[in-house]
Structure 1
Amino acid sequence: MGFLFRWLLRLASAAVVLTVLAVLVVYYLGSRSLPDYNKTLVVSGLTGDVEIVRDNSNVPHIMAQSDEDAFYGLGYAHAQDRLWQMTLLRRTVQGRLSEIFGARTVETDKLLRRLDLYPLAVLSVDAQDARTRAALESYSAGVNARIAEINRDSLGRGAPEFFLFNAPLSPWRPADSIAIVKLMALQLSGQMRDEVLRARTSLLLPDADRVADILPDMPGEGVAALPEYASLFPDLPQFAQGQNIGNDMLMPVAPRGLAGASNAWAAAPSRSASGGTLLANDPHLSFTAPSIWYLARLQLSSGGVIGGTIPGVPAIMLGRSEKLGWGITSSYLDDQDLYIEELNPENPEQYRTPDGWSRFRTRKSIIDIKDSAPITVTLRWTENGPVLPGTQFDLNTVTPPGHVATLAWTALSARDTSMSAAIGMMHAGSVTEALKVSEGYVAPSQNLTLIDRDTIALKTVGAMPRRDANHQSLGRLPSPGWRSENRWQGILPYSTNPEFVAPAGGIVGNTNNKIIDRPFPMHMSFDWGDSQRVVRWQGLMQGRQVHTRDSFIEAQLDTVSVTARTLLPLIGADLWYTGEAAPDGTPERQRQRALQLLADWNGEMNEHLPEPLIYAAWLRALQQRLIRDELGPLAEEFDHVEPLFIERVYRDVDGASVWCDILRSAPVETCTQIAQLALDDALVWIGEKFGTNLESLRWGEAHQATHDHTVLGKMPVLRYFVNIRQSTSGGDNTLQRGQTSGQDPDPFQNVHGVGYRGVYDFADPDSSVFVTATGQSGHFLSRHYDDLGQLWRRGEYIPMSLDLDLAQAAAVGITHLVPE
């Protein structure tokens, strides 16, 4: 027995030693790729010395003797901290993910190959101005200098992920940066999904008023009536069920409701307490670890520029210079149209055009797949755009037999000068100059908010499609591609893009709300991203005669839900103070406690309060109760509460209260009954998931921000090291927006929101502040992987200063790049 015990002890000790050794080896290999910020490095491709001073938040301040050398330094800094992220973005847009991830990403690769974004980026390089081409070349050389250093000095392949997903790391090219901008355009575009959903919904709901209920137009003057989708394609099966396989790993097309969003507002000197202009900006994207944003400062010939960059792109995308500040919000411009193309029954290689049958433009593309045989995809294009498979985005449900779907989209341009516009913005010295250089923006379309020392402005930038006034669906539904009136007629002049310069009220801003209401075809969009936050913003802006940096910060961090304040009195009108006494432990008593809590609540979506969770669960259950019997399985597509729909129902707008009656039951249910049933549903769900003690509930427990690593975040053990989870305030309709997932089992996880916050004060520019949601490093062993995350969660910021002495005072390292 003693012999056996001794051997078991020896084996256990050996296992422990081997485990420790394995951990040490893994740590050693992983830590080899941690960058050394204190060094002097001799590199090729520079014309003069470059100094990269990293302040105590690891924000690089890049000082150089020429603009080209400054961009070289930015490329080197990006590659030091985010090389894996840059590589993943490039592989995504190239359609080459399956080479390292295998079959899990085949559908993603197929889609990106069909869209042809990378070849279009290659062609777009020659469309850039000389200054931008020089910046792209220098930036690429800086990235490649870091790659060469990694290979020469065996620096752990540059990032731990490269050990797990081995693939050759090819040199960076100028086209790679342009391609990443096009990829961002894809991530920010949601009009295609909206068209498909509107078509599917109209097939189920024969009454146009009911379609207008569940897919409401933003308040404002009229939208022309649309034809029934079934009338456009009589052969389409009316109740086709989706077979969507478009949610493949790393799919860059966001689910409906999770495309781009954002806030930005500016105040003129007349509305500023200090007499200087003010600007606040917080763009919203899906959360990842690390964040898509990377803070940086460049010293250019035109002066210092500081703000948020995207790794892989040599530009400050949002931020300020010494003379100009700029912020971006998603414009919701309708820049995508789906077409249904008729195939020639005698020759499926042809499709119908206004002039007869025409051959598809085709090309073979080979996708290499790790651990599997490669596959060949036939890419097909029509005059309207690339052919998309019916297996993605539920296109099969709206495509009749003998037809295929194609996509027209402004980003499908081989002369995309968006990069030149971004580079030009950094050199602009005034609002007037910024408006001029912004004409080069093609995609993604954004609302650009601008300030200089004296002036504020808001301008929609990006190409606006010119549509025929007789377009059958006004661009809101997939339309017959062979009808000439449905086809795009080119691009509208830049001068027609909405513009607001130096308004009399001294305030401009955008929360993705409707900003203009021009009749079709000069309209901007029928579908907008916000009808709620803008109401709260208007109140905060007009509640003060003058504003300060701190009042702008207060507005950025505001968590009061106008939606809750509006809807709760409507849906609970007959529930608040009615009902008989009920003993503890009964559903009736639990309902009364919930109603009492909500009656005393001010609508603040604070992470420490129980009321936001009760409210959110009630609204979610209510919408499902209202739509499930009418829409059936399609109800799953409406996974976020639509406030305008609930309001229409409970105000009985155009007879919308009919949604309250359950079609499959004999009695006629009232909206009060449905509200009560939904509240009971919500309380049961809360009890099962969080407990029955309502007073002890915390919204933040359900509303956790999910900054997950895009690849390692789902791997056992590793996910505990790479994912960043934080209890957060806010919600779907608050200015501090924290968009919920809408998906079981955790429908209120915060998955889409503010990745960057910046507030710029031109009365004292160095008092400006900014922050990102995670940290500067993409290396999970670095202390800078998540060090900004807690500041972000608490609503704190770091200085946004161009003062080099301040950066050097507490620098975490200074890198000197010296030319050969």
Structure 2
Amino acid sequence: MKVFKKGLLFLIGFVLLIVTALWYYTVSLQPQYSGEISIENTIEDVTIHYDTIGVPHINAQNQKDAYVALGYVHAQDRLWQMELIRRIAAGRLSEMFGKELIATDKLFSGLGIEERSAITIQNSDTNAASYKMAMAYLDGINQYIENGKTPLEFTLLGLEKEKYALKDIYNVFGYMAFSFAVAHKTDPLLNEIKEKLGTAYLNELTATEHQNLTLIKNEKNPEITAAFSKAMHHLMDVLPISPFIGSNSWVLGADKTKNGKVIFANDPHIGYSQPSVWYQAHIKTPDYEMYGFHLALIPFPLLGHNKEYAYGITMLENDDIDFYVEENNPINENEYRFKEEYFAYSFVEKHLKVKGEKDSIYTIKVSKHGPLMNGIIEPLATKKPIAMQWIYTKLENQILDVAYTMSHAKSLSAFKEGASRLHAPGLNMMYGDAKNNIAWLASGKLYTHERPLYTKTFLEGASGKDEIAEYLDFEENPQAINPKSNYVYSANNQPDSIRKMRYPGYYLSEDRAKRIVDLVAPKNDWTVPEVAEMLLDVTSPSAPEVIEDLLKMLEVSLLSPSEKTAVYYLENWKGNFDKKEVAPVVYNRWIYEFQKNTFADEMGKGFYQFVNTPLVEKVLPVQAKRQKSVWWDNILTKDKVETKQEIVRNSFKKAFVFLENQLGANVADWKWERVISVEHKHPLGESAILRKYFNVGPFVTSGGDQVINNQIYNIDSTGYYKVSAGPSARRIVDFSDVDNSLAIIPTGQSGRVFSPHYKDQAQKYLNGEFVPMKLNQAAILKSKNTLVLKAKK
């Protein structure tokens, strides 16, 4: 008995020892939110108050000290995220994850981002404030690497920490610019349709770009001073970091609000991931203050506000990538023709380190237009040399100065001057201030070609007739300043005409834009709670119209009772994607079958890329109205010509049978919440063992594709809608009560899995709640956690 008791006590002690060791280990991996840390290269101590959601409020005596502190605290919460994102443009993901990422590394390392970063750094003005503050921020990150706790992900992957340099910041900007672009996913597909099916098929798709438009109106008034398709899809899909996708923003002028001051709203749409894409930080010095949302490795926030102004971004969706078909010299494939001469390709050799494998070595050919995609993306649909010309790598890069100026502007004029220097990616800069100025500025270097062109198919490289003729002056860019409507907005939709033309781009369908205008325009007494409710709106204005057009083709009297029930739900639907609604389930499956039966016979495997491009969302409402179309006939049935009615009827029947098998015989039980879910994925969460620790979710959510609360998912054969992207931050700044402005992000501030702020906002986000963005110094000083970075004397 004594032996048994001793053995039991030993076992209990051993278990307690293991539990204590695990507890200590998890505590040791948490960021330090209080106490003191010695830090170098600061003049004075920096005091950081962490609020209840882990946002650092940095109080410093000068901006340089503040940016050293920002780099340090940003790294201690997000070093793993920084490491991921800095590796993308450099083609270094396969070092971490193995040969599965070689293709993605080849693509990004071949785009010329690193080469452009090197040129930009070589030409940098080292006396510029933007340069000095960026270097201070990097110093803070590198001090954390030297002295701080190593994130668990580094340990699990056996990854050594490396210090950061200015090129890493520029490489992140390059990745951001490319992920904002759409041409690489759309142009190869459209070109293939043109070449293989002919212009009749192409024209029906592209004609939709000029229909069902809610245009952002241009209007400039004075400032108020008061004093390749499938491969590209796959390569982007496997990225272990968030791609940039879309966004909403609207700024309500003083005459549109109950309190007579500007209300600013913004929710950029970005791929969901863990950690969330934005890191919040509030900096306050005697001469500067900004509450900002930062990307990993970017010192200056792309979203921000203080007591004087607020700003944010959405994607402009302009076309800043052109693909050129080059013509090789028939006797020397290392030369290409341009006009009447042959020029030598330049060659760039790349070495990719691959975890557990030999290095992957490849060579990129580069013409005057840019790198050849052949060999970078395999396989291409053509053997012709295809060069990619991208404005980001073609023109001078001032993007660091742009970000600095946005976050340090003293007036709308100064903010606009900063916006004018952006070359790529194209962004809608949204602005509102305490003086009641509001503005929308389409920023990015726009250009015209030497002749009228449809630039979403491949251009001629050899003739010299398809070259850029002129870059537009920024004053010609679409923009609205203090318009008579008393509001500005952007939902990635088509801007109004410039130079008597609508500037070409990959603008999204009008759904979100139309809904914003429908809600904002008639009302002149907006309050913050009402704006918050609008950010959560889940109603599509176009879905009921599509249903109405499709239902005209159904002979409802011939349907079964259960099928009639499904029709009843569709007929009475307002287009809202709420959790308990049945109609969204029927609608999504029906349009999937409708699009498949319309386009898949001609497109083949390309259909599965087409059905999840922004273009298809513009095509759908137009195609649903068409009675005559070259796409109706199924080219695989040689003995008959199908009609629209047959396509619609067969699509409905297939959708209904599928849903019966998927969700049961009772149509009333086909609730949206049964098929839609969201999970915020961490790269290590791909392992089944680690998923529950690193991933956040899955959760049932509400919302749909192209509603204001935009939940972006693929429509595919599965019948389940796994949300991959959506509002990456919801923000509301009210200049009648700026100290109590509101925000929410999808999971939490910290990327450290054992931090209390790893996922503490997740449920609030799902519930449509907000948390305050604190600016009031008295409230900030009440924070329970205070960290002091002690300057070494």
- The structural deviation recorded for 1:686 is 2.3
Decide which of 794, 798, 814 is 2:771's aligned counterpart. Answer: 798
Letter in 1 for 2:677: Q
Q: Shift of residue 635 of structure 1? A: 1.7
1:502 and 1:630, CA in 2 relative to 1: closer, same or farther beyond 3 A?
Answer: same
The two structures, once aligned, show a CA RMSD in angstroms of: 2.9
Query: In structure 1, how many angstroms separate the alpha carbons of the residues matched to 2:617 and 2:327?
Result: 38
The AA in structure 2 aligned to 1:48 is E
Distance 1:360 1:552 in 2: 54
What's 1:127 paired with?
Answer: 124
Q: CA deviation at 1:252?
A: 5.0
Match of 2:733 in 1: 760
Match of residue 678, structure 1, among 602, 626, 651: 651
Amino acid in the other structure paired with 2:129: R
- Select 1:160's aligned residue among 130, 134, 152: 152
Deviation string, structure 1 residues 258-284 (Cα, Å, up to 9, x no partner) = 852100111111222111011110000
Alignment of 1:571-610 (within 5 A): 571-575=550-554, 578-579=557-558, 588-610=560-582
1:668 shift after superposition: 4.8
Aligned-partner Cα distance in 1 for 2:495–2:576: 26
Partner of 1:263: 248
Alignment TM-score, normalising by the size of structure 1: 0.88
C-alpha distance in 2, partners of 1:668/1:208?
Answer: 17
1:737 to partner: Cα distance: 0.5
Please tell me whether residue 40 in structure 1 is matched to residue 21 in structure 2: no
Which residue in the other structure is 1:228 paired with? Answer: none
CA distance in 2, matches of 1:24, 1:480: 68
Shift in alpha-carbon separation, 1:644–1:187, aligned structure 2, 3 A: closer
Which residue in the other structure is 1:626 paired with? 598
Corresponding residue for 1:176?
A: 168
Match of 1:707 in 2: 680
Partner of 1:448: 429
Q: 2:82 aligns with which of 82, 86, 107?
A: 86
Matched positions, count:
766
What SS does the aligned partner of 1:608 have?
coil
Deviation at 1:66, TM superposition (A): 0.8
Code of the residue aligned with 2:693 in structure 1: it is: F
Structure 2 contact 77–750 (Cα < 8 Å) conserved: yes
Alignment of 1:754-793 (within 5 A): 754-793=727-766
Within 2, Cα distance between the matches of 1:716 and 1:801?
A: 39
TM-score, normalised via structure 2 length: 0.91
Structure 1 equivalent of residue 216 of structure 2: none
In 2, the alpha carbon distance for the partners of 1:60 and 1:485 equals: 54
**Aligned equivalent of 2:388, options 387, 407, 415:** 407
Structure 1 counterpart SS, 2:66: helix
Specify whether residues 557 and 144 from structure 1 end up closer, same or farther in structure 2 by C-alpha distance, changes over 3 A only: same
Once the two structures are overlaid, the 10-residue window that deviates more, 599-608 or 500-509, is 599-608
Q: Is the 8 A contact 1:123 1:414 kept in 2?
A: no
The verdict on how the C-alpha distance between 1:349 and 1:21 changes in structure 2, with shifts beyond 3 A counting, is: farther
Identity %: 24
CA–CA separation in structure 2 for the residues paired with 1:243 and 1:564: 27
Please name the residue that 1:272 is paired with: 257
> Whole-Å Cα distance in 1 between the matches of residues 656 and 765 of structure 2?
32
In structure 1, runs of 5+ residues without a counterpart are 1-5, 222-240, 581-587
* 2:446 alignment partner AA: M
Aligned to 1:459: 441
Which structure 2 residue ranges, 5 or more long, are not aligned? 214-227
Once the two structures are TM-superposed, the CA of residue 543 in structure 1 deviates from its matched residue by 2.8
Q: Does the C-alpha gap of structure 1 residues 646 and 782 become closer, same or farther in structure 2, counting only changes over 3 Å?
A: same
**C-alpha distance in 1, partners of 2:568/2:596?**
24
Native 8 Å contact 1:85 1:778 kept in 2:
yes
Give, in whole Å, the separation in 2 of the partners of 1:17 and 1:675.
70
CA distance in 1: counterparts of 2:23 and 2:425, whole angstroms: 40
Distance verdict in 2 for CA 1:185–1:648, change over 3 Å: same
CA contact (8 A) 1:329 1:512 kept: yes
Which secondary structure state, in structure 2, belongs to the residue aligned with residue 459 of structure 1?
Answer: strand
Give the 3 Å change call, closer, same or farther, for CA 297–681 of structure 1 in structure 2.
same
SS at structure 2 position matched to 1:265: strand
Please give the alpha-carbon distance, in whole angstroms, between the structure 2 residues aligned to 1:661 and 1:351.
41
Aligned to 2:204: 212
Structure 1 residues 517-576: Cα deviation after superposition (integer angstroms, max 9, x where no partner): 3468x7532431222211111110123133222222222111011122211111112548
For 1:492-518, what per-residue CA distance to the aligned partner results, in whole angstroms no more than 9, with x for missing partners?
Answer: 222221111110111110111101234
Query: CA 1:677–1:494 in 2, change beyond 3 Å: closer, same or farther?
Result: same
AA paired with 1:452? Answer: D
**Which of the residues 180, 193, 198 maps onto 2:190?**
198
1:367-408 per-position Cα deviation (integer Å, ceiling 9, x unaligned): 2222111122213221111222356276x21x3x4x311111
Tell me which residue corresponds to 2:234.
247
Q: State the 1:356 CA deviation.
A: 1.1
Find the aligned partners of 1:487 and 1:253 in 2 and give their Cα distance: 36
Aligned to 1:750: 723
1:652 aligns with 2:626: yes
* 1:91 CA drift (Å): 1.4
Matched, 1:569 2:548: yes
Q: Once the two structures are superposed, what CA deviation does each residue of 1:333-371 show, in whole Å capped at 9, x if it has no partner?
A: 111111111222222221112241111121322222221
The one-letter amino acid of 1:786's match is: K
Residue 689 of structure 2 aligns to a residue whose secondary structure is coil
Q: Does 1:364 align with 2:349?
A: yes
Alignment of 1:170-569 (within 5 A): 170-208=162-200, 211-213=203-205, 216-219=208-211, 244=231, 247-248=234-235, 251=238, 260-389=245-374, 392=377, 396-397=380-381, 399=382, 401=383, 403-413=384-394, 415-453=396-434, 454-468=436-450, 470=451, 473-489=453-469, 491-518=471-498, 523-569=502-548
Q: Helix, strand or coil for the counterpart of 1:412?
A: helix
Tell me the CA shift for residue 17 of structure 1. Answer: 11
3-state secondary structure, aligned to 1:135: helix
Counterpart residue identity of residue 685, structure 2: G
Q: 1:219 to 1:819 in 2, by over 3 A?
A: farther
Displacement of 1:192 after TM fit? Answer: 2.3
CA deviations 1:146-200 (Å, max 9, x no partner) are 11112xxxx3x2x111012223222121221122111111111112221111111
Q: Say yes or no: does 1:149 pair with 2:128.
A: no
Distance 1:309 1:335 in 2: 25
